[in-house]
Chains A and B, each alone.
Chain A
């Protein structure tokens, strides 16, 4: 396989989602003189769009000295980076030891079956993304989930599904007000 075909193959593995790349200009300027800041650039890009889109990564390659292969190799190495748009509510379930011992698996299964998605996926209505993450460091409150940066501890299957119901309810109310 030639170099170009290889690159095409790699790039076609990323979902094609368009974003307005010009939003990155200020940020890229900031890191211009700083050697070794690719991870920071990728983090700020993800902060901007919620995920790393293929065209955003290509844009970084265009504006910096990093080549595309290198950018993809770094981006795919770290679990923080995602390549799909994220739902309105991001649910992270802690996979730490204390949570495991206290039944995090049952809670993850319950939330997934409630939302009808697999870990890492987003619901069709775009309201929820569910992800398993490494230890959130709130072990004494195990089992723990984080919803939009807010930690919920000492969960049971019932409490967790209730939490999802509450968010649904809030979203529905919100949209009826907007209408």
Chain B
């Protein structure tokens, strides 16, 4: 018997460590012949902590396990082999849509193997791809193979990976670098974190193969400092790979040497952009460089450098092992393979999903994600973070391919998929993203630095009820200027949230401006709080919860809100048990 406990960041946040300790202690105290191991994220964050028990070729998955449940599972399942059906979420015999509709390539091992064990990885075809690439394939073979597979960069833009590798390969020079971009900065995206925490060796393999293909002997992983667990597990994996000879000199007797170093990012969204990332790697302010020269010609320390995203690299071992043909059959002609999405927001089953390209947004959100939580209704889905846009309900059948998503005005992005219901205000969400980009703009290009700030100010003006119709034209004109006068992707795409908002939800903007109304009841300046006298029993709870003493009255008779004093914090609404407070 073997036990796996989900201990990715989500599992740990849901007290997975406590569950692990309970089970581990029980096994030790009772001298049971059971192996217990941590594993990464299986993607079902809503079920964490998850405990898998592998017994007689079957897997039983206990979900939402807590301290007490863990004790019971130990006493009954581990000790006497009784399966506790009431706590089982899914098993070999009990399939669930969340998993069945997915197709896992990059996440193949996530949540199934112990990320701290290289042996576990080796038992799952680990380093087979590296062995094959280094001993049977030439540099050109590998690049050709990526071309056939038509793998496109998973970081957002979808640029063909083979093209970048080919350019770096053909670029003259003895010293070259390959870099893994793990500076996952999109608010609402956690694919790379889960991958690095759950299957670090896979990314290392991608880097070794890439390094071999372009002729780089040094690889660098630029990882966000906010991901301490990912960095720790990567470091462990690098040390193990070194020990086994997969990193270092003369790997698999191929004569190829490769070293790998982790560099911690320091919290700047713009460093996700290739040239800014290179500046940061060199220890400078992360400000983008003028292109050309492209990194493939002159990158890190002005040497040919190739940069790939974590998920892109995680696809490489599969393509090498199974052949480009196998990969290219998945998805559409122009968008092959799978894509990992971080599903979150107002969704019932939020987590990590990997789906074949060509699946519709509706299938992901409703079939896999289970639809909207708390009985709400779907309003929009945000793709691509601050560079993307909100796709409305009328376009739910859009297929997930680079070409179809781009047509909507949003972008595929790195994989953040934030679902919104009617309580989300589309002007407020655009304001949220503009505040983000305006703060994260490095300041090099005037239009990005000042223009995003002006757009943000206009959005504040609208959400505070001072908007004029001419502001919409101003927003559009600023958007066009920022797009054309910014050096890097941050500025070029920063206006997208507003542009898609105006395209699909213009009525909501107009409602804010003309009627001074926010249908989502999010923009506090446009709201008024009042107490319905018939419903108020005079219990005084609201008045006690009010931080500014704006609610007055005497016990057992209806209370009143002084609208001049009210700061619209909403505390009273949450406190009232009689639905007596209305917000309009």
- Interface residues in chain A, defined as those with a beta carbon under 8 Å from any beta carbon in chain B: 35-40, 42-43, 73-74, 77-81, 95-102, 106, 109, 113, 133-142, 144, 149-153, 157
Contacts and interface: CB of A to CB of B under 8 A. Distances in A.
Contact of B226 (A37, A136, A157): A136
Contacts of B14: 141, 153
Contacts of A139: 188-190, 342, 344-345, 350, 416, 418
Interface core residue of A40, A77, A106, A151 (most chain B CB under 10 Å): A77
A10 B237 CA distance: 43
B346 interface: yes
A135 B285 contact: no
A51 B268 CA distance: 18
B382 interface: yes
B346 A101 contact: yes
Contact of A81 (B188, B266, B342): B266
A101 B345 CA distance: 6
Interface of B: 9-10, 12-14, 45-46, 184-190, 193, 225-228, 263-264, 266-269, 280-286, 301, 342-346, 350-352, 382, 385, 416, 418, 420, 424, 429, 432-433, 436, 442, 547, 569-571, 574
B268 A78 contact: yes
Given A74-B283, A141-B10, A97 B226 contact: no
B280 to A, nearest CB: 7
Contacts of B10: 138, 140-141, 153
A141 B13 contact: yes
A18 to B, nearest CB: 24
Contacts of A152: 13
B350 A137 contact: no
Interface core residue of A98, A109, A137, A144 (most chain B CB under 10 Å): A137
A163 B59 CA distance: 36
Contact of B285 (A37, A74, A113, A136): A74
B195 to A, nearest CB: 11
A73 B444 CA distance: 14
Contacts of B268: 77-79
A42 B188 CA distance: 28
A136 B45 CA distance: 15
B187 A134 contact: yes
A97 B432 contact: yes
A133 B267 CA distance: 9
Contacts of A98: 187-188, 344-345, 350, 418
B569 A109 contact: yes
Contact of A80 (B12, B267, B285, B442): B267
Contacts of B570: 106
B368 to A, nearest CB: 13
B283 A138 contact: no
17 contacts: A35-B282, A36-B283, A39-B264, A40-B263, A98-B345, A101-B418, A106-B569, A134-B267, A135-B226, A139-B188, A139-B190, A139-B344, A140-B190, A140-B342, A140-B343, A141-B45, A150-B13
Contact of B187 (A42, A80, A97): A97
B187 A95 contact: yes
Contacts of B269: 134
Top-3 shortest CB links A-B: A140-B350, A140-B45, A78-B266
Nearest to B197: A137
Contacts of A102: 345-346
